[in-house]
């Protein structure tokens, strides 16, 4: 099986928002980072994949089969940004509930993670901080050995040390369990280090979906004067932004651009740079 997740022409229409033909695929054993500003459609896409909302049209396949199949549901681990456990429960309660739901529930793994993250099994969730609750959600999602993890802002509310710990766990899970991960996050610096693919959604549409290494290596930001900018043909850039002192121009291929134009300053791009220029930049 080449692709664990396939989303094709996914549409969902609301009164004030619309997903429009969202299409991407997640290869087996890979991490895909889903990026975009608030309200871009990331969470709507994830909820459609999980069958929490019903799409207007489109096709979603998980493990090559329809997403509604019970087998598919058993092998998916989920952490949503608005997910929560009842506050009166304890991690012990979560364990007892989950082992009755998932055939592959790994009690030892669950308690090992609790110990690693210093979460006391008998403490009620209401005594946990936001970061501790998020860790518990992640631990729960991992402890039934899912083949696909779908995570919506899983590191929000975590301090840098805890984020690093969680990301390390994601990477180890990929190696041990041959798992694949769809990860939505506003912390794009994390994605630059761990994501194999990046899918960028803006105003309900996929702007790009590419391998992370190629994206960061090939794309660039040309910094030039107004006079230099006027020499650039509009087919040779994606978006541009005029600052107080210069023009910042987003190009898809630094090497080709440098060979064509005598403009020396071409900076490497970050995912933050890409988002800002794609969303705020002008086309012509």
Domain limit, last residue, from 210, 227, 245: 210
Whether residue 198 is found in the same domain as residue 224: no
Name the DSSP letter for residue 232.
Answer: S
Number of helices (H) and strands (E) in the chain: give both, helices first.
11, 14
Q: What is the pLDDT of residues 253-279, one digit of tens each?
A: 999 999 999 888 899 999 999 999 999
Q: Mind giving me the DSSP string for 109-177?
A: HHHHHHHHTT--TTS-GGGS-HHHHHHHHHHHHHTT--SEEEEESTTTT--HHHHHHHHHHHHHHHHHH
Whether residue 98 is found in the same domain as residue 191: yes
Domain limit, last residue, from 177, 210, 243: 210
Residue 240 pLDDT > 70: yes
Q: How far apart are alpha carbons 233 and 22 in whole angstroms? A: 30
Whether residue 188 is found in the same domain as residue 60: yes
Whether residue 72 is found in the same domain as residue 189: yes
> How high is the pLDDT of residue 210?
95
Whether residue 118 is found in the same domain as residue 197: yes
In terms of Cα–Cα distance, which of 117, 111, 115 is closest to 165? Answer: 117
Whether residue 193 is found in the same domain as residue 250: no
Q: How many CB atoms lie within 10 A of CB 187?
A: 19
Whether residue 10 is found in the same domain as residue 59: yes
Contact 284, 234 (CB under 8 A): yes
Greater confidence, 155 or 33? 33
Domain limit, last residue, from 161, 178, 210: 210
- What is the total count of domains within the chain? 2
Q: What is the pLDDT of residues 102-141, one digit of tens each?
A: 999 999 999 999 998 899 999 999 999 888 888 899 899 9
Whether residue 142 is found in the same domain as residue 235: no
Q: What is the pLDDT of residues 71-103, one digit of tens each?
A: 567 789 998 877 778 999 999 999 999 999 999
Residue 39 pLDDT > 70: yes
**CATH code for position 58:** 3.40.50.300
Which pTM does this prediction carry? Answer: 0.90
> How high is the pLDDT of residue 7?
96
**How long is the chain?**
284
Whether residue 190 is found in the same domain as residue 227: no
Count CA within 13 A, CB hemisphere, residue 146.
24
Residue 1 pLDDT > 60: no
Q: What range does the domain containing 267 cover?
A: 219-280
Greater confidence, 171 or 9? 9
């Amino acid at each position: 099986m080449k692709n664990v997740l396939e989303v094709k022409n996914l549409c969902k229409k609301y009164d004030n928002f619309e997903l429009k033909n969202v299409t991407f695929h997640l290869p087996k054993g890979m991490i895909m980072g889903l990026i975009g500003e608030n309200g871009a459609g990331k969470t709507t896409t994830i909820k459609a994949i999980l069958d929490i909302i019903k799409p207007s049209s489109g096709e979603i396949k998980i493990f090559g089969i329809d997403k509604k199949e019970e087998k598919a549901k058993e092998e998916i681990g989920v952490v949503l940004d608005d997910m929560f456990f009842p506050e009166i429960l304890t991690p012990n309660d979560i364990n007892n509930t989950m082992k009755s739901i998932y055939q592959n529930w790994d009690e030892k793994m669950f308690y090992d993670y609790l110990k690693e993250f210093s979460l006391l099994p008998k403490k009620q969730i209401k005594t946990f901080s936001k970061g501790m609750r998020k860790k518990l959600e992640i631990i729960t999602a991992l402890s039934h050995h899912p083949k696909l993890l779908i995570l919506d802002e899983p590191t929000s509310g975590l301090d840098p040390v805890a984020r690093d710990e969680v990301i390390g766990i994601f990477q180890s899970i990929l190696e041990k369990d041959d798992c694949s991960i769809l990860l939505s996050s506003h912390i794009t610096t994390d994605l630059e280090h761990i994501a194999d693919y990046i899918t960028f959604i803006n105003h309900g549409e996929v702007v790009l979906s590419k391998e992370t290494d190629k994206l960061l290596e090939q794309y660039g930001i040309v910094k030039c004067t107004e006079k230099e900018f006027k020499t650039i043909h509009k087919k040779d850039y994606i978006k541009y932004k005029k600052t107080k002192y210069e023009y910042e121009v987003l190009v898809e291929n630094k090497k080709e651009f440098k060979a064509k134009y005598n403009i020396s300053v071409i900076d490497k791009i970050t995912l933050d740079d890409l988002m800002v220029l794609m969303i705020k930049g002008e086309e012509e």
